Structure 1
């Protein structure tokens, strides 16, 4: 069975939404990422086994989004592609799916990736407007058309903006996380401290040149624009709660991810294919696990990775401490801290199938090149960003094992083991 080699990753700089990438589409950003990979690895005119790409904030007209990106990438047009969507873990899931196909011997090489933008929103009209337009199109007589036209109201023209709200609870992800941090007793100070380290680690990584071969200039932007090298614990402490309007909340714009635009892609291959092309291998995608929680009936919305990690560890006969790096997606610093505290809790770990707590992790190994709070979180791009970043960190240190954990909307999570 072939191993899944991670060859390399390219991404645009992540930016705050409604700033640098106005009128730039998901397709524009992700096509640019594919073009960079094609150029860097000499793939112009070549047919790949498959390409799996995804975006959350996508237009209904982009139903063949991945294929369109491929057709603009410089790859052989005979390269197939398909869309993947699993909320914030979309592009990691794309990589896992291609990895399974590589292991099965179906393909030798493929690209996984994702993109998201809030600056090119797919704004819709109301259902009432849509229904009336459909009826108008099907009208058979002038009288029928006039009757339908007379039924239109000004309110039918009110635009519907996409919202990050759980349909079954009516609460935003931030509001759900406020419930989680209250349940787990996570302090504002602890959240701000994690946010501070996220920014400092990301800035240090840029200063050291870590991102030089991962991030390429795009639309005049040369580095992630959300990183705040001048932030301090005092500055973070002065920010107001962002999701609890009573003023009693602890989640702020400083310890939560901002709406972000960006795209990322990762090149995967069999070990033998990589060797035939003389491609250095950064690391290997070893295993993955998905999970979900019953958040509608009280479980924390973003706690699914706790279950996924527990199952992944058992299957691989590993402990939580058997990792050299931990890449835990910072949707909110509070959510990361809830996850870490849950793994230390005996009663909670019984739910995960363990007789004892999974235990603590070494925090000096957590998000050491910056996390999503500092770098940004374009929903569909985050998984590929983390996978590529993790593989490079393992290559730099000359070996080791890393745990990737991504929580998602809908009470789901996806986790993976990367090793070199």
Structure 2
């Protein structure tokens, strides 16, 4: 290999703790607690104790001020060599896939030989800020030069200033929640309630069957007495889900609590290295990253585009770069932010009008074989700790390809702010 040629990036494998519904088993755990637990599981799985890793990248969406150096602090809480550097990343729901790509790129360019990527989120321990007016008063008090000035400022305090600011769930540019945006998409693409419920049920059944088959035995590690994701409902049915009321548009909506991802706590991580490092250290290689990953964004404010439609752009660009068609994959991992989001994406790829006007293509990307979609369950069933979903998917798809004896897999993740992150994994 020429000295300046990119190296192949191997995915050794991943580890995560069970994902749990918000305010259940992990109610009193912090981001640092959960991410550290995931890193510890990965270290135990691959015997990394005492080893200096090239670099670790991770992050969370909901962060306290104390989490300014979250990933590094989590590393210091493990048995990895403390000389291992780490940094934080944040790209909403695409955070840990983006972190994985950053580590993969450093390996490919020869800057490091191995690295870890991960992500975590807990809505149970969400940061609660003080009232904005109170914050400004307190800052002015801190700037005051005399006791008299401070007393005058403190005299402005009123009971309303004691009302805290809870984390927002709406898009700053529109004031609409992600669910409300997805409702608009579902209406635009005429996605039925039944189709969404069917996809949700399929996700639950696939996830539960994967546990029965032992697929998650070496991917999900017990934590605080929890052994598996506690959102799964293997006995659910379309008939049961049909009884639920809409969650975002009470009158005419089709999105419900059951065909949307629940608020979730959890953490996940993956171990990557160069092909040479894997061989020298006798490490398994489940799959390889290709160099075709793409990110994209849509104009959901003034351009009339769906907030969660950016993966359609990213995948189209990625396929062109790789010289592949949408049908050239053995497995598809499309993050189920909402069942409707997945269905909108699939329908857009089939639309000649959309692909022409939005993606600039003369022909549509076409349909996929849905029997190859999210075959071990996805976010609707397993849960969605925002920043942890990317590395959950990478670890899952790498193992699927390994057990399949080879193949090619596509990853597609939508993210807040009208963004999307995609990747292709291969196993020769």
TM over 0.5: yes
Does the residue aligned with 1:394 lie in a helix, a strand or coil?
helix
Per the alignment, residue 241 of structure 1 pairs with 246
Aligned match for 2:161, one of 120, 144, 156: 156
Deviation at 1:138, TM superposition (A): 2.3
Could you report, residue by residue, the CA deviation over 1:161-201 in whole angstroms, capped at 9, with x for unpaired residues?
11221011000000000000100010000000000100000
Per the alignment, residue 77 of structure 1 pairs with 82
Distance 2:270 2:21 in 1: 22
Distance 1:250 1:37 in 2: 39
Aligned match for 2:404, one of 394, 397, 402: 397
Does the residue aligned with 1:178 lie in a helix, a strand or coil?
helix
Are 2:371 and 1:327 equivalent residues in the alignment?
A: no
Aligned match for 2:261, one of 231, 242, 257: 257
Deviation at 1:51, TM superposition (A): 0.2
Are 2:312 and 1:306 equivalent residues in the alignment?
A: yes
Native 8 Å contact 2:144 2:150 kept in 1 = yes
Range moving further from structure 2, 13-22 or 41-50: 41-50
Are 2:112 and 1:86 equivalent residues in the alignment?
A: no
Aligned match for 1:346, one of 349, 352, 362: 352
Distance 2:200 2:123 in 1: 23
Deviation at 1:240, TM superposition (A): 0.5
Per the alignment, residue 41 of structure 1 pairs with 46
Per the alignment, residue 35 of structure 2 pairs with 30
Per the alignment, residue 412 of structure 1 pairs with 419
User: Structure 1, unaligned stretches of length 5 or more?
Assistant: none
Distance 1:142 1:96 in 2: 53
Deviation at 1:17, TM superposition (A): 0.2
User: Structure 2, unaligned stretches of length 5 or more?
Assistant: 1-5
Distance 1:39 1:206 in 2: 21
Per the alignment, residue 148 of structure 2 pairs with 143
Deviation at 1:81, TM superposition (A): 0.3
Distance 2:266 2:42 in 1: 16
Per the alignment, residue 227 of structure 2 pairs with 222
Per the alignment, residue 321 of structure 2 pairs with 315
5 Å-filtered alignment, 1:269-288, equals 269-286=273-290, 287-288=292-293
Deviation at 1:272, TM superposition (A): 0.5
Does the residue aligned with 1:55 lie in a helix, a strand or coil?
coil
Per the alignment, residue 127 of structure 2 pairs with 122
State the TM-score, normalized to the length of structure 1: 0.99
Could you report, residue by residue, the CA deviation over 1:98-150 in whole angstroms, capped at 9, with x for unpaired residues?
11111100000000000000010100012211111112122222211110110
Does the residue aligned with 1:63 lie in a helix, a strand or coil?
helix
Are 2:19 and 1:9 equivalent residues in the alignment?
A: no
5 Å-filtered alignment, 1:184-223, equals 184-223=189-228
CA RMSD of aligned residues (A): 0.7
Distance 2:205 2:14 in 1: 23
Distance 1:51 1:22 in 2: 26
